[in-house]
Structures are given as C-alpha cells and as structure tokens.
Amino acid sequence: MNEAAAVDQYGVVGHPVAHSWSPFIHGMFAKSTAQNVAYRLFDVPPEHFRRDILQLFADGIRGLNVTLPHKQAAAELVNDLTPRAARAQAVNTIAFFEDTALLGDNTDGAGLTADLERNLNLELADLRVLVLGAGGAVRGVLGPLLERELGQLTIANRTADKALRLAAEFADMGRVSGCGFGELSGPAYDLVINATSAGLHGEMPLLPAGIVGATTQCYDMSYGRGDTPFTRWAKSHNAARASKGWGMLVEQAAESFLLWRGIRPNTRAVLDALAEHA
C-alpha cells in the first residue's frame, strides 16, 4: 500500500494562520497516541472560505480546525452541528464522517474551562466574570462558562451592539449582560477574560482601571512569548494572576483530536513543551 495514502490529513484554516502552534500540538498528540495523521496550515481569506474548504474535503482531508475570522462562516457551511456548536453558532472544529458528512463542533469552551479549572485550579461557580470581545471565540465559551453557575457574566465589546446581542442570545442560561468598554466600572471583577484580537496588532482596548483589583484573575486567550498587551496591563493594575491562552489552545486541541480520532490525548507533555516557549 502507498504509505502516504495511509496518513489521515488534518489542518487548521485561518487568516492569518502562519503564527499557529496547532501543527506542533497535534504532532505531539499524534505521536503520544500512535495515530497516523498529518496536520497542516491553510491560510484562506474570507472571500474564498466556502470554496476552499469544500475543495479540501473533496480532496480527502478528514478534519479541520477553524480559527479567526472564519468560525461563524464555518457554522453556516457544515451539514450538522453538535449541540454546543449549535448553541454557539460558531465552529472551531470540522470533522468528516460518512453518516453526517461535515460535522461542526466547538471545543473552545471546553478548552477554556479545562484550563481554568484543571490547570489553573479556579472554581468558577459564583464568580463575577467579565469577558472582553464578542467574536467567534466568545460565542464558543459563553455556554460552558454559564453552565458553571457564575455569579454574573458581563460581555464588553468595542462594538457595543454585538455584546448586547450576544447577551440577549444567552440570557436563558444565566445572569448575562452586554455593554461597550466605556460603560464598564468597578467593583473589581473576580475573573477578566480577554477574548479580543487587539493583541494580535500589539493593541490593548481602553479599559477603566476599577475593573481589576488585587483579587482579580486575568486571562488572555491570546498567547505568545513574554507578556501580551493585556497581561502587561493586568500586572500593572496588580491583578492576582495574569495568564495567557496556551492552556486553552492545548485543551481545545485535545477535544478536537478526541472528535476526530476517538481518543483524548494527555495534555501535560504538550503544556510543558509549550511552557518553554512562553
């Protein structure tokens, strides 16, 4: 048999996507679980998303991760959605199955809560939580966060309307409200999660100081070497802790791998390997 043909193909589609660590992470998962898979990067601009993704699956790719700015477009493209992806109306994982054709899932929320609870030992129940941003990533994490019986969840976004609409969409799950950054005020939140993409451009949303205090846990979904603009800001406001999104990245990837291969890889070795780059 042709050995190359026996390798199942996967990848991540985004724009931009060159910075992605997903090939490294899935490479380690494949090795540790002895799965014969290959994982590549696909930079696809929004105007070609539908055409290029359908072509990749027609060419035999078994699954894709989907990153910004395509998560909502992916939810519209697939044939079927898992319940959590249907709730989010955003997809970060597509799997090809014979019976469902293209199945869309969203593992961002499971990835974030696994990192907060298991890796960072946070108990989420009753916390006052502020989420910054209202894009595809936020859509994915709102459901799993609200399932934790938070004390309160506020969504704040540069475009306030989007935050208000998201809050209304998830109001059946708990106490959730939306606003613009300028309407935020103290007392300090227990947990502030940055889910804006401002950091990708070295920027930091303009935020009132009173929202962060000495007991506030700050979490940036962005990741990179050294401080991000958000973790730098959090530290300058004496937050109790400022974490980056490496753990979420690894845990959401493990959930995708589980959907594709039926096995959830142990994430510890990958977390340790990435810590050397962080």
Ligand X SMILES: NC(=O)c1ccc[n+]([C@@H]2O[C@H](COP(=O)([O-])OP(=O)(O)OC[C@H]3O[C@@H](n4cnc5c(N)ncnc54)[C@H](OP(=O)(O)O)[C@@H]3O)[C@@H](O)[C@H]2O)c1
Residue 135 in the binding site for ligand X (CB under 6 A): yes
245 binds ligand X (CB under 6 A): yes
Q: Which position among 65, 243, 252, 256 is part of the footprint of ligand X (CB under 6 A)?
A: 252
Give yes or no for residue 162 binding ligand X (CB under 6 A): yes
CB 32 within 8 A of CB 265: yes
Nearer to ligand X, 118 or 149 (CB): 118
The smaller minimum CB distance to ligand X, of residues 221 and 234, is found at 221
> What is the spatial distance between Cα 236 and Cα 233, in angstroms, rounded to a whole number?
5
- Phi first, then psi, for residue 134 (nearest 5°) are -150, 35
Instruction: Write the DSSP string, 124-159.
Output: -TT-EEEEE--SHHHHHHHHHHHTT--SEEEEEESS
Strand duo 8-14 + 63-66: pairing: parallel
Residue nearest to ligand X (CB): 135
- Our CB check for ligand X shows the closer of 35 and 89 to be 89
* Closest CB 255 distance from ligand X, rounded Å: 11
Q: Does 69 bind ligand X (CB under 6 A)?
A: yes
Find the helix or strand (DSSP H, E) in which 250 lies: helix 246-261
User: Of how many residues is the chain composed?
Assistant: 278
Report, as residue numbers or ranges, the catalytic residues: 71
Which stretches of the chain bind ligand X, using CB under 6 A?
Answer: 68-69, 71, 108, 111, 133-138, 157-159, 162, 195-200, 203, 205, 221-223, 245, 248-249, 252
